[in-house]
Structure 1
């Protein structure tokens, strides 16, 4: 009886780990030297797909790194905005935007999105990638990318090439 309990607990732990890994529960770190260029490319790709005719502006002051637990470094590429709304632009709907963004998000390594959600009284399209980064697009034309796990010896802006 004792042996079967050990096997059952082991099977339960294995099942939990499998579920977490299948759901993206474990983030894969991005090399520090690649992080800034990677997410700048992601932002450009997504902005071009979301509103190709718009001019998107990056708020450089929103770019930063955060040391969490020992050995955990998170990179926030920051916030971008465009003039005017992203939704209701020429009759555009969330479904239109999601359709336009699907291939670009997939190419950039983000999970597929099937709907926008309600957050703080506004609609937000949100998805994550394998590095734990969250990308958010709001109806008013704002994009935010945050919390990417990076592999850095020192969790500093200079380690990522941000000066």
Structure 2
């Protein structure tokens, strides 16, 4: 494949996790590569590169999107969030991240970033999700380690905490198998 010259690069500016960023991008550069290699947002994992596994999920203007199917130039002027932007501070976890930790909802961690980003977006739209709805959200992500039950348990707990209610597991309620 012929190398594009510098004149074919475009300056792409957008907000990444609340901070303005910009980089030079060839028209064919994928958002995954721009984020990981151009901007150091390595929490955006590259898995299948076909939009199937969900490991590369980011939020664009608050909506989940597969970064492996998005060109970097499409990020121009947009608000982009990655897993790095979910935590409220350098040494603090988000409510969802803390629930994942408590429920051992990750093992190898490869799929975790995409799942967290998707669940974060979903819980903003649906603060009182059903177990079935959460299964549908995580059903768009491939995880070969956890069996999804701890993920659903963590998501239910996080949703309850975000609503200011007692966590479901503390009431003896266990989610159905996924």
The TM tier, using the shorter chain, reads under 0.3
Which of 1 and 2 has higher RCO (CA within 8 Å, sep 6+)? 1
TM-score using structure 2 length: 0.22
TM-score using structure 1 length: 0.23
Higher strand share: 1
